[in-house]
Amino acid sequence: MTMGVFMTVAYWCVFIAAVLPYLLTLSWRSPAYTLAANRAPRRFEETLTGWRQRAQWAHLNGLEVFPPFAAAVIVAHQLGAPQARLDALALTFIGLRLAYSAFYLADFGVPRSLSFFAGIICIIAIFLSAV
């Protein structure tokens, strides 16, 4: 099989990274989210407090970090990066995003920041893996 015929682990990680922010949305929108809130979701988001507010912030951060991760995986695939290295880095990124979200929900600032920066290092390493 050629690389274009099947989904690699790294490509599945792109899918997971795309879905993760929306899973966080489900956590903070229930049960407080009502039909009235759906008419003005941004206004509703401004009223969130505590872990629900942090979940919404983690959701936004997941949306922000997704494009460079997806681009890195696609570029590395296109340039023929070693598949095992690419898969390992992509899985590490997903693990770090899960940790980031858990740390955010638990209000652990320093571990959250460390997992964020480690994730950025993974993105850079994915880009450079084809060099």
User: Which pLDDT tens digit goes with each residue over 46-59?
Assistant: 888 899 899 999 99
Asked if the bond preceding 31 is cis, omega within 30° of 0, the reply is yes
Structure tokens at 104: 């955010």
What whole-number distance in Å separates Cα of residue 111 and Cα of residue 117? 10
Q: Is the pTM of this model over 0.75?
A: yes
Instruction: Please name the residue that has the structure tokens 């995986």.
Output: 73
Band (pLDDT 50/70/90 cuts) for residue 5 is low
Q: Which CATH architecture has domain 8-128?
A: Up-down Bundle (1.20)
Please return the burial class of 55, using the count of CB atoms within 10 Å of its CB with bins 0-12, 13-18 and 19+.
buried
Higher pLDDT: 35 or 131? It is 131
Higher pLDDT: 30 or 96? It is 96
Domain spans of the chain?
A: 8-128
Percent of the chain with pLDDT over 90: 73
Residue 33 pLDDT more than 80?
no
